[in-house]
Amino acid sequence: MSPTLGLRRLRLCGTLGVVVVGGACGPRAKHTVPAETAAVAATGARPLPTNESKPVPKVFELVVEPRRVLLDGREMGALAPDAVRRIDGLYEELVRRVRGAPARRDYRVTVRDGVHGVQAISALQTAAFAGWRHANLQGTTKPVTIDVQIPLLPGASTDPGPKWPTEILVVIVRKKTLELWRVPTTATEPRGLATLAHENIPLGLPHLLELECKAQSPCNPMMFQVSADAEFAVVKEALSIAAASTAEPLSATLSMSAVPPGGKPPSVRLGATRVSGRLPPAVIQKIIRGHYDTLRKCYEQGLVRDPHLQGRVTVKFVIERDGRVTQSHAAEGASMPDGEVVECVVNAFRSLVFPKPEGGIVTVIYPVTFSPG
């Protein structure tokens, strides 16, 4: 079974990933306008509350139980057992707490035994859309911070996200097994590395990571995926082992697996760059490759609507003197039939930031080809 890279049946703003970073959190900075909340407007969320009289705690604690979510000991809503859904009460309270909080907003999260992956991700992504994207996961042997990556509207500031190697290490946690895969960002086929029964994870996974993770085949960052019926306790165990396997802070995305056993992962191929201006194509390729996960999420939203969806999106965009993209649109020659996927990809390019070009603006034409695997 090959890894898939996404979620099913989302009720927020499309498919999300979750980035996991092992180690201490970074410095905090002053910030008063949460850019993330702009993305929530696209989901038809309720108007933001205006009550600012209550004190805002510096660090709150989120507890995810099998049927409900607690915030600082107070129940915030129920969890759906089989689908990723926004928790309205939690979302509204966390939006209120954003006001006056620093730019990097951290909180603690405890996931109780018996919680499925789909329920944990519902709570984490609800917090992320409310503006809280950094959760310190409790109960691991080494500190692990979950950094939730969410799609943002054009013009909103965004976390740069992980910088992917040419082959990504993917860990899939299923109901009874854990799988290790290497998934290239190019057109080549993914490689299955190993499958472990849950009871063999404590001894088997550290050994596999030691064999696989070398300078020529880096494992950091890596992708974690979880099936809807997998226990999150197994995910947490695997995350803890992965975080302990590297001296540097571990970065990984966490998402729901949507492809049944025997399927193949969606393919996102980044094409040849056509550049008009003084910015090396290799530099442009590197920046775009670092946002591979965002492009993948755009495509997976379309796969939920049509499992056989495939096609090419060719994006033409302009890099201004300060390195920001001010113009981005689909160029001629696109074959992707899903308009929402095309729009999502175009918006993803619009949010990119490049090094300042020499001698004026740069125009780029960049094709991205998607296939279901």
Which tokens in the block code for residue 299?
């495509």
pLDDT of residue 265: 59
pLDDT of residue 365: 92
325: how many CB neighbours lie within 10 A of its CB? Answer: 19
CA quadruple 13, 60, 252, 35: dihedral sign = positive
pLDDT per residue as tens digits for the range 100-112: 787 778 899 999 9
Give the confidence band of 9 by pLDDT, cuts at 50, 70, 90: very low
66, with CB counted inside 10 A (0-12, 13-18, 19+), is middle
Arithmetic mean of pLDDT, 55-61: 69
Q: How far is CA 260 from the centre of its chain?
A: 21
Q: What is the pTM of this model?
A: 0.56
pLDDT of residue 46: 45
For 267-371, which CATH class?
alpha beta
Which tokens in the block code for residue 284?
């442009």
Could you state, in order of their start, the residue ranges of all structural domains in the chain? Answer: 1-263, 267-371
